[in-house]
Amino acid sequence: MNRRIERRLLIILTFGFFCSFILVIHNSLQVPETSLDSSEFKQLNDKLNKFENSLIQERQELEDLQLEVDRKFALHPHAQIKKNLDLPLKPWLEPIPIVVFACNRPVALREHLRKLISFRKDINQFPIIVSQDCDNTQIKSVVVEFGENVQYIKHISSETARIKVPKEHRQFAVYYKISRHYKLALGHIFDKMGYSSVIITEDDLTVAPDFFDYFLATRPLLEVDKTLFCVSAWNDNGVPEFIDQTANELLYRSDFFAGLGWMMTRDFWQEIGPKWPPGFWDDFIREPAQRKNRSCIRPELSRTGMTEFGQKGASGGLFFNRHLKRIFLNQRPTNFNQLDLSYLLKQKYDSSFLTKVYSIKNAS
């Protein structure tokens, strides 16, 4: 678009110089004095003046248009990527809380917290916060066992709040309770506690040894690349036969939101929080209206895994035995903070991806 504007301006300016040259030649010609007052010359002079004014106006419009193009391009996510494309990703220094969603599974929560704390290197960098919306008193007792290592938030339960569920969705009431819980917890983390990002886990998950390193290293990507909206620790296709179990450093951009251990920013919350759905929050995030052609980062080897407690979750064991429990959990720690992850920025990633795709030989 910039080149079209430049060509158009060049043509107009060239034509203007040509007309000015004709006018100068005309004025220098030896013509009868009477011709200076002739109607033909007056008409020509008026036309030249009119053209000159038109040229000035056209040039001003082109300059205004160029400014508008530059302004809009500067606001576009791709412009921000280009601006940061060759700059090293700065280490993330702000704290990133881990919010653990819990309800009524104290044994599962205890195991999950033990695993998190065993791999956490810095309590200030990664504060752990348990969020509960059920009235099971054992959950708080489990949190108390961990002392200052874990914080606790208790919301008014869905039963006490008597949430409304559409008649046609009565069998899915648990998904409305979960969606409400997410809204309350995320609102508390971002709006009340003021954090800039959060890692979301649930009590039926386990984590890999490099779980924290993975999220700390990928957090800067969400800051500089606005074509990303989340980082997930889960690979939905991460069963052993579909992955390279040696590729523990390999990360991808994905158009699918997987969840099950994921990170989001306050900016994204401010965007989707006001229209948060009463139920089925994960399907809501996957909708085009929310995703807006943005992607998530996800690993080749999952950094979260599903424990046996997942059989008794909201889905009632659905899909658990055949798939969820078979997802391969990475066990070889990777220091992601020592890696250059700028290849995941959209322009670099797309260019590399297309090169790989078009270099593949035809199968038939």
Catalytic residues: 282
150-154 and 128-132 as β-strands: parallel, antiparallel, unpaired? parallel
Q: Which residues of 165-203 are buried (b: 16+ CB within 10 A; e: fewer)?
A: beeeeeeeebbbbbbbbbbbbbebbbeeeebbbbbbbbb
Burial class (CB in 10 A: 0-12, 13-18, 19+), 355: exposed
- Residue 251, amino acid: L
Are the CB atoms for 149 and 122 separated by under 8 Å?
no
What the block records as the tokens of 134 is: 């059920």
Q: CA 250 to CA 344: how far, in whole Å?
A: 10
d(CA 47, CA 37): 15
Task: Enumerate the β-bridge partners of residue 151.
Answer: 129
